[in-house]
Amino acid sequence: MIGEPDGILEVHDLRETEQYQPAHEVSRLRAQGLREGILGATPAPLVAPPSVPVVPEPSPIPEPVPGNIEVYVTFYSCPPYCGDPSGPLPLGEGQAACDWAYMGRRFTLNGQEWICNDTGGLVHGNHVDLFFWDANNGWAYLAQYGTRGILTWR
């Protein structure tokens, strides 16, 4: 067949002849050449697919400790932090940036109720970052209560 001994086409020869053949002839040649080539060829060794690494299940979100816990208190204000918070509520007073695990949880701190509606790159664990529209109100809060407080989860 086409100048090859024993009628077996090599793959590279088959591709070279395809460009000069009508489509139905290419299909016939391809099928015949592959069938003849497979019967006389040594099968390639099977290679195992690459293994997929096992990803551990994420740990459950920690529940807030019931009762009172001591927290580190800071504040942020608008400006400069006027963008949308991480949570679903629009930015407003009575909100705090908390550890992501506490998003959406309400708490009382120094007699005022707050909700965790934001996160922050430096806010982790027992740290709350209270939001005030006016920075002067934030400074006044820290002057009155300090940077340590007793938080009660609601």
Whether 75 and 140 map to the same domain: the answer is: yes
Looking at the structure, tell me whether residues 91 and 27 fall in a common domain.
Answer: no
Q: Do 83 and 28 belong together in one domain?
A: no
The model's pLDDT over 80-98, given as tens digits with 9 standing for 90+, comes to 999 899 998 999 999 999 9
Q: Is position 54 within any domain?
A: no
> In this structure, is residue 20 part of a structural domain?
yes
Residue 145's pLDDT is what?
A: 96
- Rounded to an integer, the average pLDDT of 23-47 is 59
Q: Is 1's pLDDT higher than 50?
A: no
Is the whole model's pTM more than 0.75, yes or no? Answer: no
The answer to whether residues 91 and 30 belong to one domain is: no
- In this structure, are 35 and 75 located in the same domain? no
> Which residue range forms the structural domain that includes residue 16?
5-40
pLDDT digits (tens, 9 = 90+) for 94-149: 999 999 999 999 999 999 999 999 998 899 999 999 999 999 999 999 999 999 99
| CATH label of the domain that carries residue 83 | 2.40.40.10
Tally the domains of the chain: 2
Comparing 25 with 106, which gets the higher pLDDT?
Answer: 106
Region 51-64: mean pLDDT is 62
The answer to whether residues 31 and 103 belong to one domain is no
> What single string gives the DSSP state of each residue in 13-54?
HHHHHHTTS-HHHHHHHHHHHHHHHHHHSPPPPP-PPPPPPP
